[in-house]
Amino acid sequence: MNTQLKAFLFDVDGTLSDTERDGHRVAFNHAFEEYGINWHWDVDTYGELLAVTGGKERMQYYADKFLDKNNLPDNLESLIPELHQAKTRHYTELLSTGAIPLRPGVERLINEARQRGFRLAIATTTTPENVTALLTHTLGAQSIDWFEVIAAGDIVPAKKPAPDIYDYALKTMKLSADECIAFEDSANGIKSTSDANLQTIITVNDYTREHDFSGACIVLDQMGEIDQPFNVIAGDAYGATYLDCDLVVKLHQQSIAS
């Protein structure tokens, strides 16, 4: 069977942009300071906390697993959503400074995909405002409309690694999983795509390099550019040195056939 590829589904954090270490982490710490809470997430601790997706869920996980039960704020349940709102404000302010760029090759691939008529969507755990802020401050405000669906945050109750956010995007676009390809960066991401029956192209980052990406079409260190070739960590790039639509189509075809 030769199912035609119709749509590209992108994760955001870690895939479109390296947002976690210098973006989300910093914004969480600003929120803790703003509320006078003596929590601080250093780079390594944050790496462990990334086991749980979703900012509210991550704070709850931190309180449950990293802190002394007798030393938690009394009002933790109501505090977490408040902290998260503050964190979102700090994060979107940070994005507005232009401090967090897209990863190499992302803009080029999105532009080529649009020119070639592939449909685009986003499937992410992060808060919707964060996605629109990232797109606005990197590709421009008009880019929000390039994505047919922006499936984000609490739109589904079960976040990644559950497949729900991808199932939601597929259902909204009226596409089958075979007609799409997903772009992810993490083990939670590929668990989510695999359980939604999607083929997945992985670009790793410093937090996810050692994750298990079994079942991916290919694992790359980045999408790459003409003058900035990717390194292939696992899989076959068929001689390509950067990810373009021809390679995406080929990887999709090969994965569907096998």
Residue nearest to ligand XBP (CB): 55
18 is catalytic: no
User: Which of 17, 31, 32, 130 forms a contact with ligand XBP (CB under 6 A)?
Assistant: 130
CA distance 20 to 112: 26
Report in angstroms how near the CB of residue 123 gets to ligand XBP at its nearest: 8
SS3 content of the chain, % helix, strand, coil (to 5): 50, 15, 40
Taking CB within 5 to 8 Å according to partner kind, which of Mg ion, ligand XBP, none is near residue 222?
Answer: none
Instruction: Rule CB under 6 A: say whether 105 interacts with ligand XBP.
Output: no
Regarding 11 and contact with Mg ion (CB under 5 A), the answer is yes
Upper half-sphere CA count for residue 245 (Cβ side, 13 Å): 20
Nearest-approach distance from CB 70 to Mg ion, in angstroms: 34
Write out the binding residues for Mg ion, residues 146-185 only, by CB under 5 A. 185
Q: Which among 216, 165, 230 has a CA at the least distance from the CA of 187?
A: 216
Say whether 22 is catalytic. no
Measured from the CB atom, is 24 or 103 closer to ligand XBP? Answer: 24
Q: Does 193 bind ligand XBP (CB under 6 A)?
A: no
| CA angle (154, 103, 196) in 5-degree steps | 40
Per CB under 5 A, the list member of 5, 8, 10, 14 interacting with Mg ion is 14
Q: At what angle do helices 106-115 and 245-257 cross, to 10 degrees?
A: 80
Total of residues contacting ligand XBP (CB under 6 A): 19
Q: Which of 11, 18, 164, 244 is catalytic?
A: 11
Helix (H) or strand (E) holding 151: strand 149-152
| Contact indicator for 183, 204 with CB cutoff of 8 Å | no
Which backbone phi and psi does 191 adopt, to 5 degrees?
A: -65, -40
Instruction: Please give the DSSP secondary-structure letter assigned to residue 20.
Output: I
- By the criterion CB under 6 A, which residues form the site for ligand XBP? 11-14, 20, 24, 53-55, 87, 124-127, 130, 160, 186, 188-189
